[in-house]
Amino acid sequence: MDPSDPAYQFHRSILSQAEQAWREGDDAVLAQLLRGSRKGASPAQATRYKVLEGLLQGKILLSRGLVMRGFQAHCPKASAILELPGIQAFHLDAPYQLELVLRAAEGQKGAFGEQNSLSLLVVEGSYVDTLVSGGQIRRTFPLTLRVPGRVELGPEGWRMALPGPGLPSSQVLIRKVQLRGQLYCKGIVWQGVEVPLTKIPLEPLAFFLLPKGTEAVQKDPLRTLKLAVATPLKKGPHLLVATFLCGLKPETRKAAKKILASALAEENLAAESLLRRCFRLLTWAAEKKKGLESWEGFWKNPRQETN
């Protein structure tokens, strides 16, 4: 096509403005520019339009298109669900279930995968057990699960059951379970436009398992802590659970630190190791989990898309 052709010049101008809008993150302007007529565009210009359209839909998908894209834990036994501030928790013997959930925002829809291909869900599963002795053991249970064919996504959601790490042994007092992962797929389409992504980042999950009787300690964990710290070796499990529960609120966490520090100052050598381990439990539930990677990271680091 002759570069002096009016149609060529018109589309070159529109594409220049569209690319500028993309660089500046102005989605509204970009969307408006892409809605215009493409009559007379050269094949190369038509390809650039298609790429920008895919980039915009990819951004919408990652930022507000999939309103739920992560791991969830459910327990069908209502009496085994613990109502604790800021965390999700069940009893140690609770029959909980793990799953991956993908759900599109209202009015949006898409799909991933192709009829004759496989998508892969790669999960980094791990759990840390606090034992009745106060010691901790970390284990991993990595998962690579196949998702065959094409999966349609809409507001009603799509779910996939996941295997868990199994029930804790009798020596486990508190368990923390964590899931992180990515869904690797090709053929992602969002709002009818092909999206240049090969993986979908997933919201991580962290939840806890605690012993029966936690509800009684929860009523006044500081009181239980004060009583247990007087004879820590005899009341070790009560001390550990009460310490963990105190860590769920800033005010009780601060008070618990003073109680534990005072107990350590008494130089009870036999209980020193247990008391020091208690400090770790104060901040265990408050540890921030890594959230979703921003959509910018996928575009600024294209190597991620080919891994």
Tens-place pLDDT, residues 140-180: 999 999 999 999 999 999 999 999 998 899 999 999 999 99
> Are residues 267 and 172 located together in one domain of the fold?
no
> Are residues 189 and 83 located together in one domain of the fold?
yes
**Rounded to whole angstroms, how far apart are CA atoms 247 and 256?**
8
Residue 297 pLDDT greater than 90, yes or no:
no
| 289 within a domain of the structure (yes/no) | no
Q: Which of 95-99, 194-198, 285-289 has the lowest mean pLDDT?
A: 285-289
Residue 302 pLDDT greater than 70, yes or no:
no
Residue 201 pLDDT greater than 60, yes or no:
yes
| Count of domains for the chain | 3
| 201 within a domain of the structure (yes/no) | yes
| 263 within a domain of the structure (yes/no) | yes
> Are residues 52 and 107 located together in one domain of the fold?
no
Residue 303 pLDDT greater than 60, yes or no:
no
> Are residues 195 and 70 located together in one domain of the fold?
yes
| 307 within a domain of the structure (yes/no) | no
> Are residues 48 and 83 located together in one domain of the fold?
no
State residue 174 phi and psi, 5-degree precision: -140, 135
| 116 within a domain of the structure (yes/no) | yes
The neighbour count for residue 191, using CB atoms within 10 Å, is 16
Residue 244 pLDDT greater than 90, yes or no:
yes
> Are residues 27 and 70 located together in one domain of the fold?
no
Domain that holds residue 224: 214-282
Q: What is the pLDDT of residue 119?
A: 94
| 81 within a domain of the structure (yes/no) | yes
> Are residues 115 and 96 located together in one domain of the fold?
yes
Residue 102 pLDDT greater than 50, yes or no:
yes
| 136 within a domain of the structure (yes/no) | yes
> Are residues 71 and 206 located together in one domain of the fold?
yes
> Are residues 269 and 181 located together in one domain of the fold?
no
> Are residues 178 and 93 located together in one domain of the fold?
yes
> Are residues 75 and 167 located together in one domain of the fold?
yes
Q: Which of 28-37, 43-52, 247-256, 264-273 has the lowest mean pLDDT?
A: 264-273
Q: What is the pLDDT of residue 8?
A: 86
| 238 within a domain of the structure (yes/no) | yes
Q: What is the pLDDT of residue 287?
A: 65
Residue 269 pLDDT greater than 90, yes or no:
no
> Are residues 106 and 186 located together in one domain of the fold?
yes
